[in-house]
Amino acid sequence: MTTKVYQLPVDKTGWQTADQTGTARFTWDYDNGREKLISLYDKGKRKQWDAKERIDWSHDPDPENPLQVPDELVPIFGSPVWDKLNTAERGNVRRHMVAWQFSQFLHGEQGALICTAKIVQTVPDIDSKYYAATQVMDEARHVETYSRYLDKIETAYPINPNLKSLLDDVLSDSRWDMTYLGMQVLIEGLALAAFGLIRNTAGDPLGKAVNAYVMQDEARHVMFGRLALRDYYPQLTQAERDDREDFCADACYRMRDRFLGEELWECLGYDPEDCLEYVNQSESQKVFRSLLFTRIVPTLKDVGLWGPKMRQTFADMGVIGYESTDLDAVIAEDESIAEAIDIQQRAAIDAAIADGVAAAT
């Protein structure tokens, strides 16, 4: 209940938004609300950054290995297709692989931008509207960042069909919590794990910094979903929670399959069936795909979607062991790594200035 002293009873005004779909939610209660969400909102305001200034765009990645990662991380490494390639062809695979990965990140970030704007419109509580508004700015910055990176490697790919279908489902559902669940928990949770794998293995400073800085924001976004849904889902009936679990189970399989890269192999002129068969059976790729769920599994458990369907899905995928992951510790690590990169960049700038001064004297 609002503490504002309205001169007319709020419930008697009869005012509603002009939106006829019933999805736009206007609240008369402007009081701050939940402490943790307001703290997250305050943090979101303080942590805004400019992609043009924070990232060193003067660096040009190696076109034959833009991320400077070992070949063992190429999905078809060790396959008959890979073994037949010469040095130049392998460099082309590396470039296209990074272009395909970062293109999906770009499209996913635009999906997040649209979804978060929808959350501002549809969520009923003012504290959630506050925070979602800061996330809209974050997502716009992420779209800008990944777009700039793809300009550097001069190659891009359209959206993966599995990501597209999941975004279609999330955007077409009028229930506000499904936007949170689909985007804040599932899509962004999986993206965070993928960003982290690149951040932790990339030898190239640009690719490493781009993902580390985006992760610093995304960790707050997943926390936002956790806080909102953890309060809401205990209020639902078991049938309603079961419906959400069915959606999550299907979405997790689709997200896992989006990293098989069928369109990538086809574009490169390789037999996609041969590549997919190898990627599906490769032990290293099975480990990679399982690591993508390190954040989704404990988050779904945390928000209360942990019934038989969800547990069985994660058991079948071999990822149920992630249920005990300490999400707060993972988020703290994301923060510290981004800050460490800032310190390294400042130190490099200071050293360059000092060298310039010394040369001039």
Q: Which two structure tokens, joined as six digits, stand for 211?
A: 């993902």
State in Å, rounded, how far the first CA of the chain is from the last one.
69
CA atoms of 50 and 53, how far apart (whole Å): 5
User: Given a cut of 70, is residue 104 above it in pLDDT?
Assistant: yes
259 pLDDT tier (thresholds 50, 70, 90): confident
Alpha-carbon gap, residue 349 to 338, rounded angstroms: 17
CATH class of the 56-347 domain in this structure: mainly alpha
More confident residue, 330 or 55: 55
pLDDT at residue 62 tops 90: yes
Report percent pLDDT > 90 for the chain: 62
Helix (H) or strand (E) holding 120: helix 87-122
Q: So what's the pLDDT on residue 211? A: 96
Binning pLDDT at 50, 70 and 90, where does residue 307 land?
very high
Residues contacting residue 126 through CB under 8 Å, at least 6 positions apart = 27, 29, 30, 31, 32, 33
pLDDT of amino acid 286: 86
- At residue 326, what is the residue type? D
Determine if the pTM surpasses 0.85.
yes
Residues written for the chain: 361
Give pLDDT, residue 207.
96
Residue 267: the pLDDT is 95
Look over the chain and give the mean of its residue pLDDT values, rounded to a whole number. Answer: 89
Give the pLDDT band (50/70/90) at residue 257.
Answer: confident
- The per-residue pLDDT for 284 is 82
pLDDT attached to residue 30: 62
Cβ–Cβ < 8 Å for 277, 305: no
* DSSP 8-state code for residue 180: I
Return the pLDDT at 221. 87
More confident residue, 282 or 24: 282
Give the pLDDT band (50/70/90) at residue 19.
low
* Residues 162-208 pLDDT 10s: 999 999 999 999 888 999 899 989 998 899 899 999 999 999 999 99
The pLDDT value given to residue 21: 54
Q: Which two tokens stand for residue 234?
A: 């205990």
φ and ψ of 169, to 5 deg: -65, -45
pLDDT grade, residue 22 (50/70/90)? low
Q: Where are the domains of the chain?
A: 56-347
HEC sequence for 189-229: HHHHHHHHHHHHHCCCHHHHHHHHHHHHHHHHHHHHHHHHH
